[in-house]
């Protein structure tokens, strides 16, 4: 099976990130290899619905793959066949009515407010800090936590992304969609100071905002390792990643009463469904508010108030 034209479409027309296109390529290649090895099928038009189902059984059963990974792989194949159907390259879509593995209900991992305070207390006052690496690490973590941006969005920042006077930052999200995220005075001071020290350390550097210790553009593993290292010093949570800081950003906003639609826009979600995953974290607080404020909320030793 050939995927070059489809992958080019994802890159140039849908403008998906390199990371996403790479994932599509890997998932489709795995599917094509399965069809070739198990059924001797090399042509996308010869694939049947039973072959797709057999592939999913192999992923879930023999390979013990997580439901989230199986869903992603099936989505790649479905998108490929939808593309072929729209262009008249495929008469039948073998992925229709294929049952999708259900995802277990997951809670978003967050960092507690006191742990966040300890995290940033490890850094010196930016105005007194002349160490590039320390300022860069401080800014890297502050941007993730104070704006909720994704790791890829962080790496893609340039000096032109900043509107320091207005305290806003322009972020390019999934599908090339841009959004403006506001930030506070402390982050503005940190940005100013970082740019000063960066220019002194690496004159005439590339337009990327954040750089490695050698003055190069950041890469995903660099950001991941930094976050894991610093979070490891303040939290015992098993999951430590840039996305945990994004979860923390959203959860804390909602916990302080922020409008769900506003949080959706700040995160760059395309639908409210993706944002609603954070609302569960505030259920205990709402329950406590109910118990304290509603006449029927508090537990009573005697008969219920509504009983006659």
Give the start-to-end residue ranges of the domains of the chain.
4-86, 113-288
Is residue 247 part of the annotated active site? The answer reads: no
pLDDT in tens, 212-221: 999 999 999 9
- Known active-site residue 278: yes
Tens of pLDDT, residue by residue over 34-60, are 999 999 999 999 999 999 999 998 998
Annotated catalytic residue, options 136, 246, 247, 264 = 246
Catalytic residue check, 243: yes
Residue 150 a catalytic site member: yes
Q: Which of 49, 118, 243, 280 is catalytic?
A: 243
Give the CATH fold of the 113-288 domain: hpI Integrase; Chain A (1.10.443)
Class of domain 4-86: mainly alpha
Q: What is the 3-state secondary structure (H, E, C) of the chain?
A: CCCHHHHHHHHHCCCCCHHHHHHHHHHHHHHHHHHHHHHCCCCHHHCCHHHHHHHHHHHHHHCCCCHHHHHHHHHHHHHHHHHHHHCCCCCCCCCCCCCCCCCCCCCCCCCCHHHHHHHHHCCCCHHHCCCHHHHHHHHHHHHHHHHCCCHHHHHCCEHHHEECCCCEEEEECHHHCEEEEECCHHHHHHHHHHHHHHHHHCCCCCCECCECCCCCECCHHHHHHHHHHHHHCCCCCCCCCHHHHHHHHHHHHHHCCCCHHHHHHHHCCCCHHHHHHHHHHHHHHHHHHHHHHCCCCCCCCCCCCCCC
Work out the average pLDDT over 8-29.
Answer: 92
pLDDT at 244 > cutoff 90:
yes
Residue 12 falls in the annotated catalytic set: no
pLDDT number for residue 299: 53
pTM for the whole thing? 0.64
Question: Which residue is catalytic, options 14, 167, 174, 226?
Answer: 174
Look at residue 259 and tell me whether its pLDDT is greater than 50. yes
Of the listed 150, 193, 240, 264, which one is catalytic? 150
pLDDT by residue (tens digit) across 128-186?
999 999 999 999 999 999 999 999 999 999 999 999 999 999 999 988 889 999 999 99
Is 246 noted as a catalytic residue in this protein?
A: yes
């Amino acid at each position: 099976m050939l995927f070059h034209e489809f992958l080019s479409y994802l890159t140039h027309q849908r403008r998906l990130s390199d990371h996403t296109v790479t994932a599509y390529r890997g998932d489709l290649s795995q599917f094509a290899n399965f069809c070739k090895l198990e059924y001797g099928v090399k042509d996308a038009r010869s694939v049947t619905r039973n072959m797709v189902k057999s592939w999913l059984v192999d992923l879930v059963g023999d390979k013990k793959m997580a439901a989230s990974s199986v869903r992603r792989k099936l989505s790649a194949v479905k998108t490929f066949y939808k593309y072929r159907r729209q262009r008249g390259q495929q008469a039948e879509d073998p992925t229709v009515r294929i049952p999708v593995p259900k995802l277990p209900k997951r809670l978003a991992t967050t960092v507690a407010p006191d742990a966040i305070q300890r995290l940033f207390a490890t850094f010196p006052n930016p105005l007194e800090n002349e160490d590039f690496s320390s300022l860069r690490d401080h800014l890297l973590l502050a941007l993730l936590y104070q704006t909720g941006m994704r790791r890829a969005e962080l790496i893609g920042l340039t000096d032109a992304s900043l509107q320091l006077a207005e305290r806003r930052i322009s972020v390019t999200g999934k599908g090339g969609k841009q959004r403006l995220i506001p930030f506070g005075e402390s982050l503005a001071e940190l940005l100013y100071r970082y740019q000063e020290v960066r220019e002194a350390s690496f004159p005439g550097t590339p337009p990327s905002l954040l750089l490695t210790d050698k003055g190069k553009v950041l890469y995903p593993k660099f950001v991941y390792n930094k976050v894991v290292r610093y979070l490891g010093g303040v939290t015992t949570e098993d999951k430590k990643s840039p996305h945990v800081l994004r979860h923390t950003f959203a959860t804390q906003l909602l916990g302080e009463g922020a409008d769900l639609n506003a949080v959706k826009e700040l995160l760059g979600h395309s639908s409210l469904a993706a944002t609603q995953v954070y609302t569960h974290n505030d259920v205990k607080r709402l329950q406590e508010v109910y118990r304290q404020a509603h006449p029927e909320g508090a537990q009573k030793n005697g008969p219920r108030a509504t009983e006659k």
